[in-house]
Structure 1
């Protein structure tokens, strides 16, 4: 189904611009949390034997490698590895001498159920899983190399996630060609634990929190099974914590490959 009238083009461009703007927000504010969430994975599995793989990143350098496979007609497994290693100013408008070094490595995996709804035009996925990782943040003066604060710990995560997506492809015309795209939404709820927490080398009481991460995503067909994916969303922490709070972005730009699945209609 093709939409060639200006309103559709404008709405797509607004979505793209909004996503790009939101991708830049992490660099405009100081991030004090020790948790940098990977993007919720939306493999959109439709039948046994299908697999999905992707890579995502944002302007903060939080990069995730993801993969999923349909082991049965309605059962899928997925996993991801994310990492963030950076050394930058504490905030966008701050002094160049005030630096913040971040080392964050995290892996997670899950298993779930997928099915097609509304005459095979929609995909519903429900996953549950867990994750583990290490995180460290160091603040220091770039000129004197004197450390002002170091905080580090180990992360444990338990999550459930629901994905709901249209498999009917629409299109818009730009750059001399038609671009097919589809879109969807996801909600991830996570229980996080920050253990072995140490500040300036001194042991601290562990922290925990419950995060809600609602997102929307748009996939644009680039070439064959290769798609460009834009993720925009929010991260809410239900508990007040000092080092484990929802102050980091879930906005991501990525490349997705899906092979072996059904089309928008059987």
Structure 2
């Protein structure tokens, strides 16, 4: 019997070695007010299938995601992402929600392909302080976003053997292109012009089957901003670890399926 802590460490090692580069989850620049939520990748296969996930990263940026196939080949998905943290020199608050509709299909080799169109919005603020804990600058605003995203499952599969158990692995890719705008932008209460940026996020993920409908997922990639600016920088790494559940779908593409 493998002790649970050792089992978790072994599974995490297998996820990282299984094809997802473990990028450092550093923030893009010290003044960025946008923290991209992780792309959702439900990989639905049939009507009435449900997908849900909860994930986080080293920055305590939590994301809750869900998707439901309301018709053959058609689905709706949603994401809520939240980051609230306070350090000695700054406090950051970020709340963001997305909704999308998409098309999914099975490819001839039984893999899954999805295309989603969506929009989102939220609020963001940052308070900076000096060593005496006096506020030196406050930035705040609202965010809006539109995006298109493509997901597909890889044919590559393998298993990791731990103790007396085999844990099947599967892999996939998500490509998201977004236009994000910072609105109602204020610095120390003074209004600023809106700022926009086009952001491209190529993401890969590895999933390991735990038990029943539950899987552990490691998502990693990069976010690239096409228009450099001080407040919507997006050249930060994406690194999310989460738990996902899938109910009611076909398992032919999933770990351990043949």
**TM-score using structure 2 length:** 0.88
What is the match of residue 224 of structure 2?
236
- Contact 2:202 / 2:221 at 8 angstroms: preserved in 1? yes
- Contact 1:140 / 1:149 at 8 angstroms: preserved in 2? yes
What is the match of residue 190 of structure 1?
178
Deviation of 1:18 after TM superposition, in Å, equals 4.2
Could you tell me which of 112, 116, 121 is aligned with 2:102?
A: 112
Deviation string, structure 1 residues 152-172 (Cα, Å, up to 9, x no partner): 110000000000103775312
- Contact 1:228 / 1:254 at 8 angstroms: preserved in 2? yes
Once the two structures are superposed, the pairs formed by residues 124-203 of structure 1 within 5 Å of their partners are: 124-141=113-130, 143-166=131-154, 169-203=157-191
- Contact 1:169 / 1:264 at 8 angstroms: preserved in 2? no
Aligned partners of 1:263 and 1:109: how far apart in 2? 25
Aligned partners of 1:255 and 1:100: how far apart in 2? 30
> Aligned to 2:25, what secondary structure does the other structure show?
helix
- Contact 1:37 / 1:248 at 8 angstroms: preserved in 2? no
What is the match of residue 245 of structure 1?
233
- Contact 1:50 / 1:258 at 8 angstroms: preserved in 2? yes
Aligned partners of 2:128 and 2:19: how far apart in 1? 34
What is the match of residue 14 of structure 1?
17
Aligned partners of 2:69 and 2:20: how far apart in 1? 34
- Contact 1:193 / 1:208 at 8 angstroms: preserved in 2? yes
Deviation of 1:177 after TM superposition, in Å, equals 1.7
Unpaired segments ≥5 residues, structure 1: 1-9, 89-96
What is the match of residue 4 of structure 1?
none
Unpaired segments ≥5 residues, structure 2: 1-12
Aligned partners of 1:78 and 1:229: how far apart in 2? 18
- Contact 2:29 / 2:233 at 8 angstroms: preserved in 1? no
Deviation string, structure 1 residues 118-141 (Cα, Å, up to 9, x no partner): 332x10000001000000011113
Deviation of 1:110 after TM superposition, in Å, equals 0.1
Once the two structures are superposed, the pairs formed by residues 26-45 of structure 1 within 5 Å of their partners are: 26=26, 31-45=30-44
- C-alpha RMSD of matched pairs (Å): 2.1
CA change 1:16–1:139 in 2 (3 A) is: farther
> Aligned to 1:25, what secondary structure does the other structure show?
coil
